[in-house]
Structures are given as C-alpha cells and as structure tokens.
Amino acid sequence: MMRSSWGFGQIVLLSLHVSLSTAFPDSILQILPENSGSSPHHRHRKIPRDDNLYCDSWRFVVEANDVGPWARIPSRCVAFVQDYVTNDRYRADSEAVADASLEFAKTVKVSGNGKDAWVFDIDETLLSNVPYYAVHGFGSETFDENSFDEWVDLAEAPALPASLRLYKELEQLGFKIFLLTGRTEFQRSATSKNLDYAGYSNWERLILRGPSDHGKPATVYKSERRKELEDEGYVIHGSSGDQWSDLNGFAVAKRSFKLPNPVYYIA
C-alpha cells in the first residue's frame, strides 16, 4: 500500500514511490489542494456547515473515488476521521466487506490444482497503521516517509480483525494467497515479521516493489504483478485492497473488494 495521508496497486506514500496528481476536480464539497475547507474564503454555498454532515459526505465521495487525487483530509474532519477509525463504525464497515468477500469466495469452484488465487494488499487491508496515524494527525499531516519507515521497521502494526478472519477462511477454502504491497524490498524482513506477529501465515508469495518499480504509479505496478501471476497460470478470483489503485488497471480479479480508508489516497 501507499498513501497520501489513514484508516484502519505521492501521501502521498513516498516510500512506495507513488506520484500524486495535483489536479483536483470540482465537487460539491470543494475539496481543494490544501484540503482545509475551514476558512470562510473556501466555503462554498453548498458546503454543509455541520461538520459531521460535511465529513460524512466527504468520506463517502473519497471512498467512491469521486474526488480523485487528494493529499490530506480537510482540517475540519480530523475529529471525524479519528472517531471513525478508532471506533465501531470502521470495524463494522470492514466486517461487511469481509462478509461480502467470503460470500463470493464460497461460490468459486476451487479446482484443486493450486492455481486459484486471491490477492491482498497489506497496509490498511491486512495490517492497520492506525497507531502510526494516531500520532500523525489521522491523515491531516503531510506524509513523512522517514517516520513511516521507522514505524514499519517496528513490525508492530496490528491485524485488521475482519481481514484476518477472511484470510483464514480463504485459506481453508483452498485459495492460494498472494500479498501485493507498495512497500519496497528493503522492508521485506520487517513486513514478514509483522505479518507473522499479526497472525498471518502460509501466504504463497509476498510481492514488494523492486528497483525497476521505482516511480511507477500503484495502478501500473500492481497490474503488472497481477499479469505475471496470470502468465504463471493463476486465476485471480478475488482481490482486496483499501485503495482503488490496488484493484483497478489490467489483469484485474474476477471480483474486487474495496476496504474503507478515509485517511490517505494513493494514485
């Protein structure tokens, strides 16, 4: 995964070397490049003055990818996002995604030839970086690559409970599980250690960005890696990720499942 700011395929997650466009399309919420949304100058006559109403609508349009690239959450939504990712709503949304994913998985006729695959992103999909973002403004601060790398090296990110449950059940159903992350090769050891610590095991392959992937948008990088799996004969039935760039592009899964993340955006 990479980012442009949290929630529990530049943050822009610079450590994952993702480019972030500076074009911000118009929207009823008027999410501007600085994403402040708080000064009178930036208030649009259609912007709700109630922060909870505004921020709930803001979360909806960013989750639906209607806004396009954005760098930081609006300052008026910090408390809203903090409440969302640290309380029951985020967990309930994640559980709903896991339930829908499992319902689909149970309709798949697993061939038994070892070629039925499911692809997972890692950050904010299998592992939660909420502890990191709790001390970094819940997405309101400009992403700092060095401090995030230090957090990754600790290998202490907890599992997202709903995703861990889905992971285990997919394994029992006979799917081969591939982990496709925007993290880089120098983070392989820490990432493997963290996954083990969080309860994940028996993945078929952990795929990270190599030197040749430097500067590639997440959508391109992740599409290329999925195409390599298809070329090896794998059928990608399902794909799970918190960013649209985890799921879109080419060589896409038969069904893709978007997890919630109102903290950052990765192009």
Give the pTM: 0.83
Reply yes or no on whether the pLDDT at 79 is more than 60. Answer: yes
The residue type of 104 is F
Quick one: pLDDT at residue 160? Answer: 98
235 by DSSP, 3-state: which?
strand
- pLDDT of 9 higher than 90: no
CB 94 within 8 A of CB 260: yes
Q: Which two tokens stand for residue 228?
A: 């390599």
Phi, psi (deg, nearest 5) at residue 183? -60, 160
Give me the pLDDT at residue 33, please. 34
Take residue 68 and report the two structure tokens written for it.
Answer: 């396009």
pLDDT bracket for residue 108 (50, 70, 90): very high
Does residue 196 carry a pLDDT above 80?
A: yes
Least confident range from 41-45, 175-179, 239-243: namely 41-45
What is the distance between the alpha carbons of residues 263 and 90, in angstroms, rounded to a whole number?
A: 12
Strand pairing report for 176-184 and 205-209:
parallel
Torsion angle of the four alpha carbons 83, 86, 91, 97, in this order, in degrees rounded to the nearest 10: 70
pLDDT at 188 over 80: yes
Q: How confident is the model at residue 189 (pLDDT cuts 50, 70, 90)?
A: very high
Query: What percent of the chain has pLDDT above 70?
Result: 82
Residue 49: predicted pLDDT: 79
> Residue 219 and residue 199: Cα distance in Å, rounded?
28
Q: Express each pLDDT in 207-246 by its tens digit.
A: 999 999 999 999 999 999 999 999 999 999 999 999 999 9
* pLDDT surpasses 60 at 2: no
Look up residue 76 and give its DSSP letter. Answer: G
